[in-house]
Amino acid sequence: MFSLPDADMEMFELGEALRDKHVVLYFYPRDNTPGCTTEAKEFTDLGGAFEALGVKVLGVSTDSLESNAKFRAEHSLGVILLSDKDYAASLAFGTWGEKSNYGKTGVGMIRSTFVIGPDGTIERVYTV
């Protein structure tokens, strides 16, 4: 489990979020880019359905807290955005590494979504 600061500059603990509920944990490359904005808005639009199922949605990037707060405000996002500046969670989940984007290979965030059960078991993984 991990603790990361959220866009409100409060520490958020994954273990606390998992108490008696599922978590959708998605790792995204960068605030305010077209794909990441679409993804965050879609999770926000589905917020009521997730809440009805008792599921908490968390987004993780290596952007700063300030960037996350601005991103959330600019797009009225309803998901919790966490800052992984030291790559600890990204490395632990295997979402930071070599990737190919628009024909170029480099190192960065690999867009990935994990469905985690209340007991901490990863039940599903989706990568793009």
Q: What is the pLDDT of residues 30-88, one digit of tens each?
A: 999 999 999 999 999 999 999 999 999 999 999 999 999 999 999 999 999 999 999 99
Measuring CA to CA, how many Å separate 74 from each of 18, 93, 122? 28, 28, 31
CATH architecture for the domain at 21-127: 3-Layer(aba) Sandwich (3.40)
Choosing from 4, 14, 25, 36, the catalytic residue is: 36
36 is annotated as an active-site residue: yes
Question: What is the domain partition of the chain in residue ranges?
Answer: 21-127
pLDDT for 7 equals 93
Give DSSP secondary structure letters for 43-66: HHHTHHHHHHTTEEEEEEESS-HH
